[in-house]
């Protein structure tokens, strides 16, 4: 569709909010933000679908306005079926309304090696390479933001060296696919969170995993650390990356960090939604990457659930922080 360059541009929106060390970071792709009129709200997200199916529920109004109507990422993995069709359809729906879609690619072999609740992924290196190639091709020239493989660079302590070698190869090829096949996409390699891997080590892993072909890196995906804690950590990682010749911005998942972390990662009680998806805010973007109310697995306040299952009571309590 024909687009106009709008005032919702990266330079104008971020000039006063991104740390000076990150300004001027070279774009790996054309700017998808100036090509769209805002972030895409998925009308078929799990909270939106629950609200539509339960209009008389006393929790529905709050979940609708505070969660379902916010821009959030959609996750794609081995449950997505035909990945080209799934990604292509999602991006086309956003493109039709001139909005910027947020996507998470989550299908790497040995996924969630340390946590275990979201285990699975593609059956082989070759299967993953084909899957991510189809993912990138399905976006094509349309604008998008993609976070590549949450947990993948934090899980090394639960993997052997052969698995690590395979993984960094897959990640490196993945970001190269987005660069070549999706020229209006910003791809961010996942870089864990402030409580997982020290900044120097994470920078080394990002360099090995091909950060040079990515827009930048993503922090706090599905976790709870405050935006300030992530900004501090992200600045340290960015500084360490410059030792490898990279100047890269970062984005932060703020979907569940309104009350910060309590030392637990799997459906902890008392968490709260954070700043809604926006440009700037101490990072290149603050994004709702994990959907508030979707379970981390059979644990914590999500006992008896499976990873990714929408839990309305958890979502409702997360709105109010209890």
Q: Is 288 marked as a binding-site residue?
A: no
CA distances from residue 294 to 148, 225, 280, 306 in whole angstroms, order as listed? 19, 18, 25, 9
Q: Which residues pair with 145 in a beta bridge?
A: 102, 186
b/e burial code for range 303-318 (CB count within 10 A of at least 16 → b) = eebebbbbbbebbbbb
31 catalytic residue (yes or no): no
Cα 99 to Cα 205: distance, rounded to the nearest angstrom: 32
Q: Is 290 marked as a binding-site residue?
A: yes
Q: Which of 151, 155, 190, 253 does the annotation list as catalytic?
A: 151
CB of 67 closer than 8 Å to CB of 37: no
95 catalytic residue (yes or no): no
Cα 83 to Cα 86: distance, rounded to the nearest angstrom: 5
Q: Is 248 marked as a binding-site residue?
A: no
CB of 210 closer than 8 Å to CB of 175: yes
Q: Which of 155, 166, 190, 296 does the annotation list as catalytic?
A: 296
Q: Is 50 marked as a binding-site residue?
A: no
Please report the DSSP string for 122-142 in residue order: -SSHHHHHHHHHHHHHHHTTS
3-state class (DSSP) for residue 100: strand
Which residue ranges are tagged as binding site for substrate? 75, 196, 223, 265, 290, 294
**Binding site: what residues are annotated?**
75, 196, 223, 265, 290, 294
- Any idea which residues carry the catalytic annotation? 151, 296
């Amino acid at each position: 569709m024909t687009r106009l360059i709008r005032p919702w541009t990266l330079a104008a929106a971020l000039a006063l909010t991104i740390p000076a060390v990150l300004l001027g970071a070279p774009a790996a792709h054309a700017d998808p933000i100036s090509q769209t009129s805002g972030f895409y709200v998925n009308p078929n997200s799990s909270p939106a679908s629950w609200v539509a199916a339960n209009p008389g529920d006393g929790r529905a109004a709050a979940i609708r306005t505070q969660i379902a109507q916010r821009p959030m990422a959609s996750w794609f993995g081995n449950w997505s079926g035909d990945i080209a069709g799934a990604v292509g359809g999602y991006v086309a729906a956003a493109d039709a309304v001139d909005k910027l879609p947020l996507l998470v690619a989550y299908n790497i072999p040995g996924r969630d090696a340390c946590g275990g609740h979201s285990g699975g992924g593609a059956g082989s290196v070759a299967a993953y390479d084909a899957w991510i190639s189809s993912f990138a091709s399905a976006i094509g020239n349309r604008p998008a933001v993609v976070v590549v493989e949450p947990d993948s660079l934090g899980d090394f302590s639960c993997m052997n060296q052969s698995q690590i070698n395979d993984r960094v190869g897959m990640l490196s090829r993945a970001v190269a696919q987005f660069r070549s096949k999706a020229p209006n996409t910003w791809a961010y390699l996942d870089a864990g969170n402030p409580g997982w891997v020290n900044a120097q080590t994470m920078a080394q892993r990002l360099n090995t995993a091909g950060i040079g072909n990515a827009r930048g890196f993503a922090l706090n995906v599905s976790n709870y650390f405050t935006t300030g804690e992530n900004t501090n950590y992200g600045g340290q990682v960015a500084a360490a990356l410059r030792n490898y010749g990279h100047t890269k911005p970062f984005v932060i998942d703020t979907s569940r960090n309104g009350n910060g972390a309590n030392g637990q990662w799997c459906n902890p009680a008392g968490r709260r939604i954070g700043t809604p998806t926006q440009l700037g805010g101490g990072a290149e973007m603050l994004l709702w990457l994990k959907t508030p109310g979707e379970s981390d697995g059979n644990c914590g306040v999500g006992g008896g659930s499976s990873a990714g299952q929408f839990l309305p009571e958890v979502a409702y309590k997360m709105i109010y922080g209890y």
